[in-house]
Structure 1
Amino acid sequence: VGLQKAQCEAQRKSGIELVKRSDTEELRSVFDKYASKLVGAEKFMTYSDLVLKYLQVLDVEKYHTYTFNVLASCVDTSRDGLISFS
């Protein structure tokens, strides 16, 4: 069985952005809307803020704890349960 080669004939431009970069202030506004934890003067999202309120990928009434923790810990670089904007 021979394989066929598919190719796009559209011209490619080097250095173009395929996805427009979001404005930092707009991102900060969304983050602040969902962040419920205040430590000093800095706002943080909790795992619940991220997974249940912002992403809404799990049912608030019934979800598997392991799945919840895996999803949230992906962005928790310090593993302290808090997600910072920076």
Structure 2
Amino acid sequence: MLLLDGQSYDVDVLSIKRKAEFLDKYAERTESGDLERELIGVYFNYQLKLAPSTNPTEYDRLWEKLTEAEEFHTVTVP
């Protein structure tokens, strides 16, 4: 089971991975090998691997929530 924006979904999570992406306004190496950069921010991307569902209706409900036109979601994985 997982929680998404306070709603529970009866779908098991097999694994979760997190990746940090660095976004630069510019990044350039000098002749001395130093890196000159202006960092805009660090973004964390998460990947969930879900177990096959025995309840297609529950999986469809989760899919609708994940793909709605919202910028962010709060996910709680036990």
Q: Please, what TM-score do these two structures have when normalized by structure 2?
A: 0.24
Structure with a larger share of its residues in strand: 2
Higher relative contact order (CA 8 A, sep 6+): 2
Structure with a larger share of its residues in helix: 1
Q: Please, what TM-score do these two structures have when normalized by structure 1?
A: 0.23
Structure label with greater radius of gyration: 1
